[in-house]
Amino acid sequence: MSRKPKKGYFVRGHFVAEGSELDLELKRELKGGTDEASRTELKRESAELQKLGEELLTLRAGLFDALPLSEKLVDAIAEAKRITNFEGKRRQMQFIGKLMRALDPEVLEAVKQALTEQNTVPAAEAAALHEAERWRERLIADDDALGGWIETHPATDSQQLRALVRQARKDLKSGPAGEAPRQGKAYREIFQLVRAQLAVHGGDDHAEAAAAQDREEDA
C-alpha cells in the first residue's frame, strides 16, 4: 500500500512539508517581512507624494492650469497658499498628500513632467506660457479684449470662451472678503483654450497686438 504524499511546496529546490517547523518559520518570516515592507513602502510613497504636493504650490500658473487635477485638489492647494499659520499649513499639506494618493498614475506623471518642465523649459516656451497667462487676465478683465480675441481668432469657440469668462468673473467675486480671489475651473480652462490657439497660430503677432493695445490704453 502506497503512502499518501505529503502536502507542501518547494523553496529553492527543497521540499517543505506543510506544518513542519521550517514551514512555520518561513510563514512567520513572510508575514513579518511583508507587513514591515508594506508599512515602509507606504510611508515612503506617502512622503514622496506629500513632497510632490508641496512642489505643486511653486508651479507656475500656466503649467499648473494645464494639469488634469481634481477640483478638490486645486482648491486644497489654493487654500494652502493662503494659510500662514505653521501648524495649519502642516495639516493642510498632509491633506494635500492624502489627495495626491488618490490620483491616477497618468496624472502623477503629468505633475512630475510639469515640475521638470518648469526647471528646464526653453525661453521660447516660457514666453508662450507667459503670453497665454497675460491674455487670460486681459480676457477676464476687459470686454474689448474678449471681442478682439474672437475677431482675430475665428477658430475659437466663441460661445465657450464667453461662458468661461463669465464664470471666471463670478468665481473671482465669490471669495470671502480680504482673501485672495478664488480661481476656479473656468479660470484654468480659459488658459488651456488660449494656449491651444496660440500654439496653432504662433505667438509673435498676438504679443505685438497685445502690446499695441496696451499702448492705446496708456495714451
pLDDT tens digits along 39-60: 676 677 778 888 888 889 988 8
Query: Are 95 and 139 within one domain?
Result: no
95 is in which domain, residue-wise?
20-121
Q: What is the pLDDT of residue 219?
A: 46
Query: Are 211 and 129 within one domain?
Result: yes
**179 pLDDT more than 80:** no
C-alpha cell at 211: 502690446
Query: Are 37 and 96 within one domain?
Result: yes
Query: Are 48 and 58 within one domain?
Result: yes
Residue 188 lies in a domain: yes
Query: Are 114 and 93 within one domain?
Result: yes
CB atoms within 10 A of CB 31: 10
Q: Last residue of some domain: 121, 152, 179?
A: 121
Distance CA 181, CA 159 (A): 25
Query: Are 110 and 129 within one domain?
Result: no
Choose among 124, 131, 133: nearest CA to 59.
133
Q: CATH number of the domain that 68 lies in?
A: 1.10.60.30
Report pLDDT digits (tens) over 25-34.
666 666 555 4
Q: Which helix (H) or strand (E) holds 188?
A: helix 185-201
Q: Last residue of some domain: 121, 140, 162?
A: 121
Distance CA 74, CA 189 (A): 13
**Number of compact structural domains in the chain:** 2
Q: Which helix (H) or strand (E) holds 10?
A: strand 8-11
Bridge partners of 9, per DSSP, are: 16
| Across 171-175, 184-188, 196-200, least confident range | 171-175
Q: Name the region of 19 (left: φ>0; alpha: ψ -120 to 50; beta: rest).
A: left
Report pLDDT digits (tens) over 129-138.
888 888 999 9
Q: Name the region of 5 (left: φ>0; alpha: ψ -120 to 50; beta: rest).
A: beta
